[in-house]
Amino acid sequence: MTTRKVSALGVPMDLGGGRRGVDMGPSAMRIAGLERAVRSLGLDFEDLGNVAVDSPERRDPRDPQARFLNEIAACCRALRQEVEDVLSADSFPLVIGGDHSIAVGTVAGISSHYHTRDQRIGLIWFDAHSDMNTPETSPSGNIHGMPLASILGFGPEELVQCGTRTPMVDVKNAVLVGVRSVDPTERGLVRESGIRCYTMREVDMLGMHRVMKEAIEIASDGTVGFHLSFDLDGTDPSVAPGVGTPVSGGTNYRESHLVMEMAAASKKLLGLEMTEINPILDDRNTTARAAVELVMSALGKTIL
């Protein structure tokens, strides 16, 4: 972080997935003591409230290959402007979801802000899933499985062109970490795009320290810094049981914190978002409390 002020933006989005409940993620993190935790680090904090999101009950998903595309794109455009405003005010954007489709707006905001300064950004995408479907490959039509593809320039124009730069992030500066669930139909794009993808097998073999060291180097190469998009389902369900799409075999508690600690230590972190917290599936707000603890590590909390 290059600033001592953190601005939180909630995005209660659950249009992008097939399971309801992640719209309550921002509230769950607030209830878990987000503001108090950030202030305990000696940082200034402001809660900018929630970006407006349409309710699924009030809308027709229309295209079954890209459900609620127009509504999600509209929310992402609004989020992009909010993130740009935060950065222009010399504050650090902390975006809280909501399903992972919101990352299109978050990354569009950060990318656009630095694009006006002729600078590029990198991206570390921590997730159990690769999120690189397009409407043509998605088995569900759920857009929370498409945001990374859109950020890299593949997919619906409404999402791909959300920012002032297309692609928002060059694939050579984008990294996937923690992947263990990839749709057969999206594997081709993951491979052909050239994105560096650290699956959980590689995390097991190399260790999280080496994986994050290399990921930060890739995301920082020739860029002003990187955004960290953190899907709570990248962690093991024993750490975060209440997530939109849980997958066994994720990172443990310490590995998850090491991701955040190394991002903080790099001094290259431009923004952070936490997504896919689903209180309906949770146990006494365990996942939101874990998310708050992880945010503290990303903002500089250390053991000593």
179 close to 129: Cβ distance less than 8 angstroms: yes
Beta partners for 11? 97
- Among 14, 23, 129, 273, which one carries the catalytic annotation? 129
CA 104, CA 102: separation in Å to the nearest integer? 5
Say whether 100 is catalytic: yes
**DSSP 8-class letter at 152:** T
CA 124, CA 136: separation in Å to the nearest integer? 25
Say whether 129 is catalytic: yes
Say whether 144 is catalytic: yes
- Among 131, 186, 236, 293, which one carries the catalytic annotation? 131
Say whether 115 is catalytic: no
Say whether 127 is catalytic: yes
- Among 82, 99, 186, 233, which one carries the catalytic annotation? 233
- Among 14, 82, 113, 144, which one carries the catalytic annotation? 144
25 close to 278: Cβ distance less than 8 angstroms: yes
Contacts of 259 (CB under 8 A, 6+ apart): 126, 177, 208, 212, 228, 230, 251
Tally of helices (H runs) and strands (E runs) in the chain: 11, 8
Say whether 283 is catalytic: no
- Among 71, 82, 84, 100, which one carries the catalytic annotation? 100
Say whether 131 is catalytic: yes
Side chain identity at 111, as an amino acid letter? S
- Among 14, 82, 231, 236, which one carries the catalytic annotation? 231
- Among 236, 276, 282, 293, which one carries the catalytic annotation? 276
- Among 23, 127, 236, 255, which one carries the catalytic annotation? 127
Residues belonging to the active site: 100, 127, 129, 131, 144, 231, 233, 276
